[in-house]
């Protein structure tokens, strides 16, 4: 490693090509290692939280008192799966997206709980 | 009468117009600043940053304004050294500005710097200590939805692969003859993340801050032009047409736990990345927790805007004519472009591999979004995908690698700082 100096006498190094390759490979490995680690953490997190969600309520639990109101359904729990492709007739995708958003808002339901079969402009 | 003429002569010599013609490079820099202002104001190239950078560049190159003095920062680095051991230019600066150091030893703390420096020197302190980039990251965190990443954790691999550009540009800079610390700062342009580039460069190679920041932000603005040719060259039409399945739903609990857990593990693995990643995740926690809406709102609006003004103007100010106009700036601009292209290639090549492994379930185009530049790169994936198949909606799928790229480039910056930071 050849050592040079700046105007402020800071010691900085010039690398050979071989050393550069080594640092570059090491850097990529560190990035992959860190991100793979995060990926594994996410997978564990998903498994842990999904498992907790799927666990049924204990059977031996005492019945809730009648005067306690039932817990409202959580609105941000999305419906599973997709409803497939929508057929568009004389309607461009942007308009279709707007129409679906307006319908979902008017019905007060999340978009993925609704199924749109087709959108067609009616000309009278 | 003679007195009046002599007074007018002295007045003329202290005028900026007199100083302007002392060195032609000042005029060139003023022209460059005006061109950048045009690109920001008229062509809308990252205007929030480019306008500030260009104006800072303009201010610093107007003679006798003394708004930014890079020599003071050289003295700050040379703290504790003998004045006699400094370069002749620095010694001349000390004499010219009447700086007195006891026992001939340089003593330049932030306090002395505030007294001796100009307005932009004071603003630059926030860059020097890494405050502005970290605060920008906090604001970015409040605006980032990690949902697509949590829905498809494999996106992280694409975000990692797209960091290839950083290390290829680093290697090319070494080959050209740049020292390791400067090569590392040039390489980080390939991370396509302005705050990360500024953060690392201000620590490793502050003299190169202006060209690196300008290259990083300019290429980020040019991503819709830079990426598509490479994307089309590295994928077949059949690949680009691939439709991906809808993402799985992500619960609120997962979104809240994610920033906390990632901060713990990543900062334990690479402590040097803590300022950037910690702030990013704190901002995200403000957003996702649902109980700190006011903080989230402040971080993504008022704070972000204030910090952007300080950051852009002070970074632009570092582009003084005598330090900016040289062949190295040109080399940095070219290497920056190569860094972006290789970053795109890295993401696409892994995308292709994943396309093969999953038997066509992953569209390789989402790999190019791994270069960070949120959300521009994801939008480009969407656009190119939709050109091949009009019913293709890749945006949310591409957001996964896109935010993974932000984490990936922060990790790469942390690695480079740990290795070359001294």
pLDDT in tens, B390-399: 988 999 999 9
Is the Cβ of A110 closer than 8 Å to some Cβ of chain B? no
Q: Domain coordinates of chain B in residue numbers?
A: 18-128, 131-303+323-420
Spatial distance between the Cα atoms of B339 and B287, rounded to a whole number of angstroms: 32
The size of the A-B interface in CB pairs under 8 A is: 145
Task: Give the residue among B195, B56, B222, B215 at the shortest CA–CA distance from B138.
Answer: B195
Nearest CA in chain A to B411: A31
CA A71 from centre of chain:
27
Task: Give the residue among B305, B321, B301 at the shortest CA–CA distance from B313.
Answer: B305
Give CA separation, B233 vs B40, B229, B365, in Å: 30, 6, 11
Residue that is written with structure tokens 């204030």 in the block? B306
- Tell me the per-residue pLDDT of B21-79, one tens digit each, with 9 for 90 and over: 888 999 999 999 999 999 999 988 889 988 999 999 999 999 988 899 999 999 998 98
Task: Give the residue among B224, B223, B236 at the shortest CA–CA distance from B363.
Answer: B236
Nearest CA in chain B to A22: B171
Residue that is written with structure tokens 């396309």 in the block? B355
Task: Find residue A87's DSSP bridge partners.
Answer: A118
Preferred mutation among B72, B106, B153 to probe A, highest tally of A CBs within 10 A? B153
- Tell me the per-residue pLDDT of A19-38, one tens digit each, with 9 for 90 and over: 999 999 999 999 999 999 99
Facing B180 at nearest CB: one of A12, A36, A53: A12
Is the Cβ of A42 closer than 8 Å to some Cβ of chain B? yes
Task: Give the residue among A28, A10, A87 at the shortest CA–CA distance from B85.
Answer: A10
- Rounded to a whole number of angstroms, the distance from the CA of A113 to the nearest CA of chain B is 12
Query: C-alpha angle B272/B278/B283, rounded to 5°?
Result: 155
Cβ contacts of B386 within 8 Å, gap of 6 or more = B392, B393, B394
Residues of chain B with Cβ-Cβ distance to A41 below 8 Å are 261-262, 265
The length of chain B is 422
CB contact under 8 A, B261 and A45: yes
The two tokens of residue B268 are 């334990």
- Rounded to a whole number of angstroms, the distance from the CA of B128 to the nearest CA of chain A is 16
Residues of chain A with Cβ-Cβ distance to B261 below 8 Å are 41, 45
How are beta strands A118-120 and A87-89 bridged, if at all? parallel
- Rounded to a whole number of angstroms, the distance from the CA of B38 to the nearest CA of chain A is 33
Are B90 and B74 spatial neighbours (Cβ–Cβ below 8 Å)? yes
Task: Give the residue among B244, B222, B227 at the shortest CA–CA distance from B148.
Answer: B244
Residues of chain A with Cβ-Cβ distance to B146 below 8 Å are none
Task: Give the residue among B254, B256, B280 at the shortest CA–CA distance from B266.
Answer: B280
CB contact under 8 A, B249 and A10: no
Q: What per-residue confidence (pLDDT) applies to A61?
A: 47
Preferred mutation among A9, A25, A27, A85 to probe B, highest tally of B CBs within 10 A? A27
Residue ranges of the alpha helices (H) in chain A?
A: 17-54, 93-107
Task: Give the residue among B303, B308, B225, B373 at the shortest CA–CA distance from B51.
Answer: B308
Burial class (CB in 10 A: 0-12, 13-18, 19+), A52: exposed
- Rounded to a whole number of angstroms, the distance from the CA of B6 to the nearest CA of chain A is 39
Phi, psi of B280 (to 5 degrees): -60, -45
Spatial distance between the Cα atoms of B15 and B21, rounded to a whole number of angstroms: 11
Mean pLDDT, chain B, whole residue set: 92
Residues of chain A with Cβ-Cβ distance to B78 below 8 Å are 8-9
**Per-residue burial over B210-242, b = 16 or more CB atoms within 10 Å of its CB, e = otherwise:** bbbbbbbbbbbbebeebbbebbeebbeeebbbb
- Tell me the per-residue pLDDT of A55-83, one tens digit each, with 9 for 90 and over: 665 554 444 444 444 445 444 554 444 44
Q: What per-residue confidence (pLDDT) applies to B106?
A: 92
A 78-97 residues with CB below 8 A of B?
A: 78, 80-82, 85, 93
CB contact under 8 A, A17 and B391: no
DSSP character for A59? T
Residues of chain B with Cβ-Cβ distance to A84 below 8 Å are none
Average pLDDT over residues A36-60: 80
Cβ contacts of A9 within 8 Å, gap of 6 or more = B78, B81, B85, B86
A 55-74 residues with CB below 8 A of B?
A: none
Residue B392 zone, left/alpha/beta (φ > 0; ψ -120 to 50; rest): beta
CA B283 from centre of chain:
19
Is the Cβ of A45 closer than 8 Å to some Cβ of chain B? yes
Preferred mutation among A5, A31, A49, A113 to probe B, highest tally of B CBs within 10 A? A31
Cα dihedral value A115, A117, A123, A124, nearest 10? -80
ipTM: 0.87
| pLDDT tens digits in sequence order for chain B, 422 residues long | 778 888 888 888 788 888 888 889 999 999 999 999 999 999 888 899 889 999 999 999 999 888 999 999 999 989 899 999 999 989 999 998 888 888 889 999 999 999 999 999 999 999 999 999 999 999 999 999 999 999 999 999 999 999 999 999 999 999 999 999 999 999 999 988 889 999 999 999 988 998 999 899 888 888 999 999 999 999 999 999 999 988 888 999 999 999 999 999 999 988 999 999 999 999 999 999 999 999 999 999 999 999 999 999 999 999 999 889 999 999 999 999 999 999 999 999 999 999 999 999 999 999 999 998 888 999 999 999 999 999 889 999 999 999 999 999 999 999 999 999 86
CB contact under 8 A, B258 and A42: yes
Are B369 and B377 spatial neighbours (Cβ–Cβ below 8 Å)? yes
Phi, psi of A3 (to 5 degrees): -105, 125
Cβ contacts of A109 within 8 Å, gap of 6 or more = none
Cβ contacts of A19 within 8 Å, gap of 6 or more = A1, B174
CB contact under 8 A, A20 and B170: yes
Average pLDDT over residues A80-87: 57
Spatial distance between the Cα atoms of B283 and B300, rounded to a whole number of angstroms: 8
- Rounded to a whole number of angstroms, the distance from the CA of A97 to the nearest CA of chain B is 12
Is the Cβ of A5 closer than 8 Å to some Cβ of chain B? no
Q: What per-residue confidence (pLDDT) applies to A110?
A: 76
DSSP-assigned letters across all residues of B263-311: HHHHHHH-GGGHHHHHHHHHHHHHHHHSS-HHHHHHIIIIIHHHHHHHH
Is the Cβ of A2 closer than 8 Å to some Cβ of chain B? no
The two tokens of residue B303 are 């704070």
């Amino acid at each position: 490693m050849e050592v040079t100096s700046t105007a402020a006498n800071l010691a900085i190094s010039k690398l050979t090509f071989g050393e550069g390759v080594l640092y570059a490979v090491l850097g990529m490995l560190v990035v992959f290692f860190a991100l793979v680690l995060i990926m594994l953490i996410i997978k564990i997190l998903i498994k842990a939280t999904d498992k907790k969600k799927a666990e049924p309520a204990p059977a031996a639990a005492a019945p809730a008192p009648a005067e306690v109101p039932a817990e409202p359904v959580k609105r941000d729990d999305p419906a599973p799966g997709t409803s497939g492709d929508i057929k568009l007739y004389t309607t461009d995708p942007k308009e279709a997206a707007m129409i679906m958003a307006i319908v979902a808002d008017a019905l007060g339901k999340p978009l993925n709980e609704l199924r749109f079969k087709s959108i067609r402009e009616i000309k009278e | 009468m003679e007195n009046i003429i002599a007074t007018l002569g002295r007045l003329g010599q202290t005028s900026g117009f007199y100083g302007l013609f002392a060195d032609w490079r000042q005029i060139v820099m003023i022209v460059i600043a005006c061109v950048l202002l045009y690109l920001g104001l008229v062509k809308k190239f990252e205007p929030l940053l480019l306008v500030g950078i260009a104006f800072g560049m303009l201010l610093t190159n107007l003679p006798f304004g003394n708004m930014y003095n890079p020599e003071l920062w050289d003295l700050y680095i040379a703290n504790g050294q003998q004045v006699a051991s400094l370069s002749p230019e620095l010694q001349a600066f000390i004499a010219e500005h009447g700086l007195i150091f006891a026992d001939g030893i340089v003593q330049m703390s932030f306090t002395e710097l505030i007294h001796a420096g100009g307005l932009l020197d004071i603003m630059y302190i926030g860059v020097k200590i890494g405050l502005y980039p970290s605060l920008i990251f906090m604001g970015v965190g409040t605006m980032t939805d990690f949902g697509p990443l949590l829905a498809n954790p494999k996106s992280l691999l694409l975000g990692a692969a797209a960091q290839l550009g950083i290390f290829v540009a680093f290697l090319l800079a070494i080959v050209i003859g740049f020292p390791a610390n400067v090569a590392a700062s040039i390489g980080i342009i390939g991370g396509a993340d302005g705050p990360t580039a500024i953060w690392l460069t201000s620590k490793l190679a502050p003299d190169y801050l202006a060209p690196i920041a300008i290259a990083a932000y300019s290429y980020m603005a040019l991503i819709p032009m830079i990426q598509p040719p490479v994307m089309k060259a590295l994928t077949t039409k059949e690949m680009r047409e691939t439709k991906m399945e809808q993402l799985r739903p992500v619960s609120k609990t997962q979104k809240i736990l994610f920033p906390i857990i990632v901060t713990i593990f990543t900062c334990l693995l690479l402590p040097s990345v803590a300022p950037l990643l910690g702030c990013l995740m704190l901002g995200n926690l403000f957003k996702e927790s649902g109980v700190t809406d006011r903080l989230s709102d402040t971080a993504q609006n008022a704070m972000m805007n204030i910090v952007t003004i300080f950051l852009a103007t002070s970074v632009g100010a570092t582009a003084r004519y005598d330090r900016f106009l040289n062949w190295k700036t040109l080399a940095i601009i070219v290497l920056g472009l190569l860094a972006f292209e290789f970053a795109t290639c890295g993401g696409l090549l892994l995308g292709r591999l994943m396309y093969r492994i999953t038997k066509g379930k992953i569209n390789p185009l989402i790999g190019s979004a791994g270069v960070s530049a949120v959300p521009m790169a994801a939008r480009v994936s969407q656009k190119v995908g939709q050109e091949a198949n009009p019913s293709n909606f890749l945006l949310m799928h591409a957001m996964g690698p896109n935010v993974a790229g932000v984490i990936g480039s922060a990790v790469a910056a942390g690695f480079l700082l740990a290795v070359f930071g001294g």
